[in-house]
Amino acid sequence: MTAPSSSSPRRNHQYPIDDHDLISKLPDELLQMILSKLSIEEAVRTSVLSSRWVDVWKWRSHLVLDMNKVLDTTPDKDLAYVSFKLARSMTKVIKNHHRGHLESCIIHYDVLQCKNATLQSWIHTATQLKHTKILTLTNRMPGYLRGYKITSYLRLLPDTFSHHSLTSLSLCGFLVITPHAFGNCENLKTLKLLNIAIPQASDLSEVLAACTSLEVIVLQVNFLSQYGVLKIENNNLKFLQVTFPYEIDRIEVYATCLDVLDIRFIKGKRENFILAGPNIQVNKNAWVSDHGIHTPHLFYNVSSYLAQEKKIICRELLVSDFHDMRRDGSLSVTVDITDPKEVEIVKEVLLMWATNKMIELEIFFKNKKAPRDEGECSTNNRTHKILLEDAKPFPNAAFRVYNVRLYNFDGSNEEEFAFASRLVTQKTVVRKMMIETSSFHPMKKLNAEAAVAKLMELPKGYKRLRIECF
């Protein structure tokens, strides 16, 4: 529940209330919580109940304005007039009928009936007057479905999104041609461009360069020109999700803090994707199968930051647009398997595939911690319990993966061997487990190959499972 504004009037002392109207006698805070469960249309309707209810809905911290519900049932001959009236009504709601600051504002509208000046006014009111933190603007009929008509262009004034309160911006269904609207956007932490058409890659590079503080970037973008280079350079960036239906010359990503790279679709070769991010390891054209089929691939570095926060970065983004909210495709994960917090995060990530067989799982074991002295009490008892003692399948009995590749597995770490053993014995890996040993020096290679030999002797969950070194 949102804390009441310090300027919120104590309406229960302003208006006479019938003794039998017990609901209206409730404190403002409880009434606001009740109305927060309603749609904005339903909340507004409560204003006619009595003078006590006139202003209650205006203190909602989340505002959703949706033209679609009306326009979808409006005859074509009345569409222009109804859209105009709706736009005026929405302007009135944003500007005159809502008080206090907004946590989030979501506006769904038809760009063909609502001109850019109106949209500019909405944005100005939401940011400058209402200090909105999270702003979402959705065009009812995306420009790419209209052949990029002139009315689908997003023309906004310079520095439109630069207000200090705005930290998250989502745009859906536009043809963006004014990068200067994103000037001086150091305030933004999250930027989502969904179903967006952009003339050329350099325009998007300019937008991203202006947003220097971004930690989350989601791009579902179609470039009208296949020539050019998209450059993403940001040392604050932790999460990057990309969907590019058409090929461009090159994509360059420079992000020292990047922990999650979610490639939904990239049409291009590995050599045209330049990644300079020490936390993400990309060995090959992982998002394209041996048969040339493009599949999603998630690269996930389980960092100490994530372990401390005990959360999955942008979980809703990782599973959105997938059938039954479960991912498909492949996963590359970097983890310290001796850290119980990181093991728990890996488990959560794997469970995103619980109802689908994962195509390939790559596991990069982080460098080992210093070995414990004999008799020293282990600080990783939880990890031992998860990987050595717990009889339940990891991450659960439903998870399956066709192929697994293990990197930096030398057989000397008890937790790593236990983890690999469970993948072999508990019907987790269906076809093949490949363990990289060729990069080790001779002695370490011998130890790793000895550990692989022990894995081969284990009872296999699938009798045809192959275990090999490479």
* pLDDT at position 145: 45
pLDDT in tens, 203-222: 999 999 999 999 999 999 99
* pLDDT at position 74: 74
Whether the per-residue pLDDT at 107 is higher than 80: the answer is yes
Domain membership of residue 81 (yes or no) is: no
150 C-beta neighbours (distance < 10 Å), count: 9
* pLDDT at position 313: 78
The whole-angstrom separation of Cα 255 and Cα 232 is 8
Among 60, 82, 107, identify where a domain stops.
60
191 C-beta neighbours (distance < 10 Å), count: 21
Domain membership of residue 363 (yes or no) is: yes
* pLDDT at position 383: 60
Give mean pLDDT, residues 4-22: 48
Domain membership of residue 261 (yes or no) is: no
* pLDDT at position 10: 44
Whether the per-residue pLDDT at 278 is higher than 80: the answer is yes
Q: Which of 391, 383, 393, 309 is nearest to 350 (CA)?
A: 393
Domain membership of residue 265 (yes or no) is: no
Measured on CA atoms in the order 287, 289, 292, 296, is the torsion positive or negative? negative
Domain membership of residue 464 (yes or no) is: yes
The strand pairing partners of 38, in sequence order, are none
Terminal-to-terminal C-alpha distance of the chain: 55
Segments of 366-462 assigned E as strands: 401-407, 429-435
What is the overall mean pLDDT for the chain? 81
Give 449 or 356, the one with higher predicted confidence: 449
Whether the per-residue pLDDT at 321 is higher than 90: the answer is no
Provide the domain count of the chain: 2
456 is in which domain, residue-wise?
284-368+380-470
Of 90-99, 139-148, 340-349, where does mean pLDDT reach its minimum? Answer: 139-148
* pLDDT at position 55: 58
**Contact (CB, 8 A) for 46 and 22:** no
Q: If pLDDT is split at 50, 70 and 90, which confidence band does 406 have?
A: very high
Give 28 or 121, the one with higher predicted confidence: 121
Domain membership of residue 187 (yes or no) is: no
pLDDT in tens, 268-277: 778 899 999 9
Give 361 or 354, the one with higher predicted confidence: 361
139 C-beta neighbours (distance < 10 Å), count: 26
Q: What angle do CA 97, 101, 103 make, to 5 degrees?
A: 110
pLDDT in tens, 49-85: 555 565 555 556 667 777 777 777 777 777 777 777 7
325 C-beta neighbours (distance < 10 Å), count: 12
Segments of 144-249 assigned E as strands: 153-154, 168-172, 175-176, 190-198, 216-223, 229-233, 239-244
Domain membership of residue 463 (yes or no) is: yes
Among 14, 38, 60, identify where a domain stops.
60
The whole-angstrom separation of Cα 18 and Cα 149 is 56
Among 36, 60, 84, identify where a domain stops.
60
* pLDDT at position 27: 67
Secondary structure (DSSP) of 96-117: TS--S--SEEEEEE-TTTS-HH
Compute the residue count for the chain. 470
**Contact (CB, 8 A) for 346 and 310:** no
In percent, the amount of the chain with pLDDT more than 90 equals 42
Q: Looking at mean pLDDT, say which of 40-54, 69-83, 164-178 comes out highest.
A: 164-178
Cis before 395 (ω within 30): yes
Domain membership of residue 147 (yes or no) is: no
Give mean pLDDT, residues 351-377: 73
Whether the per-residue pLDDT at 34 is higher than 70: the answer is no
Q: Which of 288, 238, 169, 331 is nearest to 253 (CA)?
A: 238
